[in-house]
Amino acid sequence: MSSLKIYNSNSRKKELFTSLTPGYVGMYVCGPTVSGESHLGHARPYITFDVIFRYLKHLGYKVRYVRNITDAGHFEEEGREAEDKISKKAVIEKLEPMELVQKYTNLFHWAMEQFNTLRPTIEPTATGHIVEQIGMIEKLIGEGFAYEINGSVYFDVKKYAAQYDYGKLSGRVIDELLENTRELSGQEEKRNSADFALWKAAAPEHIMRWQSPWGVGFPGWHIECSAMATKYLGKQFDIHGGGMDLLFPHHESEIAQSTICNHETPVRYWIHNNMITIKGKKMGKSYNNVIPLTELFAGTHPLLEKAYHPMVVRFFILQTQYRSTLDFGNEALQAAEKGLKRLLEAYENFQKINGTNKVAQDEELNSKIIKLVGGLDDFMNDDFNTAKVLANLFEIVPVLNAIKDKTIAADALSIETFDLLKKKMKLFIEDILGLKNFTEANNKKLIGAMELLIEIRKEAKGKKDFFTSDKIRNQLNQLGIVLKDEKNGEMSWSIETT
**Rounded to an integer, what distance in angstroms lies between the CA atom of residue 240 and that of residue 224?**
14
Nearer to RNA, 61 or 249 (CB): 249
Q: Which of 95, 93, 117, 147 is nearest to 31 (CA)?
A: 117
Sign of the CA dihedral with 186 first, then 190, 194, and 195 last: negative
Nearer to RNA, 213 or 398 (CB): 398
| Least distance from RNA to the Cβ atom of residue 4, Å | 15
| Least distance from RNA to the Cβ atom of residue 448, Å | 22
Nearer to RNA, 61 or 228 (CB): 228
Nearer to RNA, 141 or 472 (CB): 472
Tell me whether residue 140 is exposed, middle or buried, using C-beta atoms within 10 angstroms of its C-beta: 0 to 12, 13 to 18, 19 or more.
buried
| Least distance from RNA to the Cβ atom of residue 132, Å | 18
492 forms beta bridges with: 484
- Enter the DSSP assignment of 196: E
Residues near 22 by beta carbon (within 8 Å), at least 6 away in sequence? none
**Rounded to an integer, what distance in angstroms lies between the CA atom of residue 137 and that of residue 155?**
9
Nearer to RNA, 354 or 407 (CB): 407
* DSSP string across 236-250: SEEEEEEEGGGIIII
Nearer to RNA, 234 or 339 (CB): 339
Nearer to RNA, 24 or 334 (CB): 334
| Least distance from RNA to the Cβ atom of residue 204, Å | 22
| Least distance from RNA to the Cβ atom of residue 116, Å | 18
**Rounded to an integer, what distance in angstroms lies between the CA atom of residue 210 and that of residue 84?**
13
Strands of the sheet containing 62-67, edge to edge, are 62-67, 24-29, 237-243, 267-273
**Rounded to an integer, what distance in angstroms lies between the CA atom of residue 209 and that of residue 178?**
31
Judge whether 170 and 177 are in contact, CB under 8 Å: no
CA distances from 78 to 208, 246, 393, 482 (A): 17, 16, 48, 56
| Least distance from RNA to the Cβ atom of residue 234, Å | 23
| Least distance from RNA to the Cβ atom of residue 231, Å | 20
| Least distance from RNA to the Cβ atom of residue 474, Å | 9
**Rounded to an integer, what distance in angstroms lies between the CA atom of residue 85 and that of residue 68?**
18
**Rounded to an integer, what distance in angstroms lies between the CA atom of residue 2 and that of residue 18?**
13
Nearer to RNA, 24 or 485 (CB): 485
CA distances from 256 to 162, 263, 430 (A): 12, 10, 39
Nearer to RNA, 180 or 351 (CB): 180
| Least distance from RNA to the Cβ atom of residue 214, Å | 20
| Least distance from RNA to the Cβ atom of residue 170, Å | 6
**Rounded to an integer, what distance in angstroms lies between the CA atom of residue 415 and that of residue 399?**
15
Judge whether 289 and 283 are in contact, CB under 8 Å: yes
Nearer to RNA, 149 or 173 (CB): 173
